[in-house]
């Protein structure tokens, strides 16, 4: 992963963005010697958002199982038919 100063980003944004889109490797932006932000390409960011939603759904399902909020196969079929109608 590449690291850039925020001042370098300000001065060379076009070059940094072109390299980012080419490599698809995140860029760590630092300010006053400290990490300030990560710069990622659009495709990577959108993919991360999809993965987060999937993981959140899995976590909700695991919580429901732990809390005993489960359905039988027949109950689930009935519910799905209503949702899809």
Q: In the chain, what percentage of residues exceed pLDDT 70?
A: 100
pLDDT of 29: 98
Write down the H helix ranges in the chain. Answer: 6-11, 13-23, 42-66, 73-84
Number of domains in the chain: 2
Same domain, residue pair 53 and 75: yes
Catalogue the long-range contacts made by 30-36 (C-beta closer than 8 Å, 24 or more residues apart): 30/3, 30/4, 30/5, 30/6, 31/5, 31/6, 36/6
> Which one-letter DSSP state was computed for residue 28?
E
pLDDT of 85: 80
How does the average pLDDT of the chain come out, rounded? Answer: 95
Domain interval for residue 51: 43-84
d(CA 39, CA 2): 10
Tens digits of residue pLDDT in 33-55: 999 999 999 999 999 999 999 99
Same domain, residue pair 47 and 73: yes
């Amino acid at each position: 992963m590449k690291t850039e100063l925020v001042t370098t980003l300000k001065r060379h944004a076009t070059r940094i963005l072109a390299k980012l889109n080419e490599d698809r490797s995140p860029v760590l932006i630092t300010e006053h010697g400290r990490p300030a932000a990560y710069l990622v390409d659009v495709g990577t960011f959108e993919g991360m958002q999809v993965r987060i939603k999937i993981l959140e759904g899995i976590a909700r399902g695991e919580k429901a199982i732990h809390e005993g909020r489960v359905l039988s196969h027949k109950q689930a079929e009935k519910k799905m038919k209503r949702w899809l109608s």
